Amino acid sequence: MIDVRSDTVTRPTPGMRAAMASAPLGDDVFGEDPTVNALEARVAGVFGREAALFVTSGTMGNQLAIACQTSPGDEVLVGEHAHPVHYEVAAASALSGVQIGVLGAGGTFTADDLEAAVRPPAYYQPRTRLVCVENTHNRAGGRLFPQTAVREITARARALGLASHLDGARVWNAHVATNISLRDLAEGFDTISVCFSKGLGAPVGSALVGSRALVERARRFRKMWGGGMRQSGVLAAAAMYALDHHVARLAEDHEHARAFAAIVAGSPDACVNEADTNIVNVDVVRVPADRVAAQARELGLAIHASDTHRLRAVFHLDVSADAAREAAHVLVAAIRAAVAEARV
């Protein structure tokens, strides 16, 4: 089975397993796990910040950023189809008591969009307090957020008295695709969340990056939400290995995505987005996406139906160049079969 449902489906490589098995350990709740401490210091340094906090997931990283920079009754502004809207179980409202407002289209927006959406200082309106940028953007097909727009947004947010957060779950992909340094991609943001278990192939883990004071506040929320871990250096070692060995190779995933997209685009019943990075959206307007996904599974391809008429393919270290091309041919056949079945 070729599995392109997500880049979270990878298994640790032999080298990563060896690193996990040999990691020095301690109790992280006491701040005594040397591998976690080393990972947090390394990630903070990469982004030019004072501190970082190892957390269980990208969702926790985003939610800690929201909780630390808002109060109940505030509003958080995000791009269309942002991760906190679709994949975080309304956690922003449940955990922080905030509402989410949506900006722009296709995952990106401008500084002018941001300023136009900021609420006036009326007692009966929510207070706009935080803006979030997702780069790369998951549901927009791994879309890169233009860096010029990012700089304008963070500068405008600061001028308007807002905090800003980078949802950088796949910022590693943005770094490799654009050759912009991680520090520059994160410039101007108050907080950054990054993920190790997506393109980098670690089994678990993300990090929240920011000032030392904010990270210590986040540590309290992490404990409150049940996210305090003990000998979590086993997991941090996998993330360290991924940073050492799996960042530059993301370029291969991007190449595989482009090769896949080029083949699938040849189907008369599919519309394919341009592959900026490792994610390809395939729209199948004439048939339900879940029908196509079921046909594809029968032919040996696991692919995610991300919307009624949309499939999402995500390329990762467990999908070779040959497998990517084979996946494309299987999907074309599955679309053809689903369309033929619908005509009967």
Domains of the chain, each with CATH number or no CATH: 14-243 (3.40.640.10), 249-343 (3.90.1150.10)
Q: Over the chain, what is the mean pLDDT?
A: 97
> What's residue 278's pLDDT?
98
* Distance, C-alpha 234 to centroid of its chain: 22
3-state secondary structure at position 28: helix
Going by C-beta distance under 8 Å and a sequence separation of 6 or more, which residues neighbour residue 273? 140, 141, 261, 280, 281
Burial (CB count within 10 angstroms: exposed 0-12, middle 13-18, buried 19+), residue 151: middle
Cα distance between residue 325 and residue 260, in whole Å = 6
pLDDT per position as a tens digit, 294-305: 999 999 999 999
pTM over 0.75: yes
Is a pLDDT exceeding 90 seen at residue 329? yes
Q: From start to end of the chain, where are the E strands?
A: 2-3, 51-55, 74-79, 99-103, 127-134, 163-168, 191-195, 206-210, 271-272, 279-283, 301-302, 304-307, 310-314
Is a pLDDT exceeding 80 seen at residue 344? no
Cα distance between residue 323 and residue 217, in whole Å = 45
Centre a 10 Å sphere on the Cβ of residue 41 and count the other Cβ atoms it contains. Answer: 12
Confidence of residue 293 (pLDDT cuts 50, 70, 90): very high
pLDDT per position as a tens digit, 24-42: 999 999 999 999 999 999 9
> For residues 137 and 211, is the Cβ–Cβ distance under 8 A?
no
Is a pLDDT exceeding 70 seen at residue 274? yes
Which is nearest to 60 in space by CA: 198, 181, 205, 180? 205
> What's residue 341's pLDDT?
86
